[in-house]
Amino acid sequence: MLFETIAKTGHEEIVFCHNKDAGLRAIIAIHNTVLGPALGGTRMWPYATEQDAINDVLRLSRGMTYKAAVSGLNLGGGKAVIIGDPGKDKSEALFRAFGRFVNSLGGRYITAEDVGIDVNDMEHVFRETEFVTGVHQVHGGSGDPSPFTAYGTLQGLMAALQVKYGNEEVGKYSYSVQGVGHVGMEFVKLLRERGAKVWVTDMNQDAVRRAVDEYGCEAVGLDEIYDVPADVYSPTALGGTINENTIDRIKAKIICGAANNQLATDAIGDELQKRGVLYAPDYAVNAGGLMNVSLEIDGYNRERAMRMMRTIYYNLGRIFEISARDNIPTYRAADHMAEERIEKIGKLRLPHLGVQAPRFQGRSGR
């Protein structure tokens, strides 16, 4: 059954990681390495079943392939999930055990932060392998990628506003932001700095209170976020929130956020197109974090990273152009753009050459 699944999804490799003493249960999925080594974050989540974890890592790793491709990066797609509660189950031993599994792949997979993981956790992973990004600046890393993901999301938003309304005046419009974690809070900050009206919701009530108290947002309930009269709906938590149960409730004319896999099905994306709702494809919008950590491979430079974020604006513009030209939904236009690059670059590679492990520069002592 599993081999049938990965045959359909096109994955190259799945690694199941287990260390009883450390309490580690993790899965690493490498989707595609045609463009380069697979780079993608590690997510820690209390999955209800192991199958849920497998489904998530397969979906997320495939998304990373497309994200890297559409962003013009010389990287492939991979992802890892650790089964556990990030509020209770973290330990040095767990992350170091995971780091050893990452290291055993010899650079085919490079990890980073994702949901439930922070820079302190990456420090433990870094003690066991050099194939990790998002570590502290003292090690030549870039630290927390959240501000870059948020800033890249702002670039995608501006591209969407330009297409839909003919301007990039972020502050003229209102936003429903679903999720105010690391990325969501940074995104809210950027919106409020520009004077925008912002509604927020999150399971973490402390985060909601911070968004209200520090940034002047208006809090609504978890389910109420779909009903607010916002111009833009911004999912910045987990995926699948645009589905058959919510699509009729979302009043926004633009959907642009940092969450992965926002559309529950392709049919939902088709329906958004029919309704005239402009969907900014998630993996093109939220590529800022990936762009940022990718620079660590050759030696990190923050100024270069900030310049790189601007390319998200132009990438989204190109996706919207393809969508309009070919009369296809934007999610399909993004897929076509990514697949075309993978195919063309793949033909340039000599068949006897494998993916070489990257050479990390500017790092000091694990």
**62, 93 in Cβ contact below 8 A?**
no
Set out the domains of the chain in order of their start, with CATH numbers: 2-65+76-132 (3.40.50.10860), 146-341 (3.40.50.720)
Q: Mean of the per-residue pLDDT values for the chain?
A: 91
Q: What is the pLDDT of residue 303?
A: 81
Mean pLDDT value of segment 20-33: 97
pLDDT band at 104, cuts 50/70/90?
very high
At residue 13, φ and ψ (nearest 5 deg) are: -160, 140
What pLDDT digit, counting tens, does each position of 220-263 carry?
999 999 999 999 999 998 789 999 999 999 999 999 999 988 99
pLDDT for position 307: 85
Q: What is the CA radius of gyration of the chain?
A: 20
Inform me whether the pLDDT recorded for 46 exceeds 80: yes
Catalytic choice (67, 79, 164, 197)? 79
Spatial neighbors of 145 by CB under 8 A, at least 6 apart, are 112, 113, 134, 288, 289, 290, 292, 293
Tokens coding 87: 């509020």
Mean of pLDDT values over 148-171: 97
Q: Residue 212's pLDDT is what?
A: 98
Measure the CA–CA gap between 54 and 61, rounded to whole angstroms: 11
3 state DSSP class of 29:
strand
Nearest residue to 178 (alpha-carbon basis) of 124, 218, 125, 235: 235
Give 347's pLDDT tier (boundaries 50, 70, 90). Answer: confident
Longest dimension (CA), the chain: 58
* Residue 88 annotated to the active site: no
- Tell me how far CA of residue 248 lies from CA of 5, 151, 243, 332, in angstroms: 32, 29, 9, 22
Query: Measured between alpha carbons, how far is 282 from 287 in angstroms, rounded to an integer?
Result: 8
Residues 6 or more apart from 347 whose CB is under 8 A from it?
none
Average pLDDT over residues 289-318: 86
Question: 163 or 348: whose pLDDT is higher?
Answer: 163
What is the per-residue pLDDT for 141?
62
pLDDT at 186 over 80: yes
Predicted confidence at residue 295, as pLDDT, reads 84
Q: Is the pLDDT confidence value at 180 over 70?
A: yes
Least reliable range by pLDDT among 4-13, 175-184, 233-242, 298-307: 298-307
CB atoms within 10 A of CB 6: 16
Report the C-alpha gap between 325 and 322 in whole angstroms.
5
More confident residue, 44 or 133: 44
Using CA atoms, how far apart are residues 29 and 65, in angstroms rounded to an integer?
11
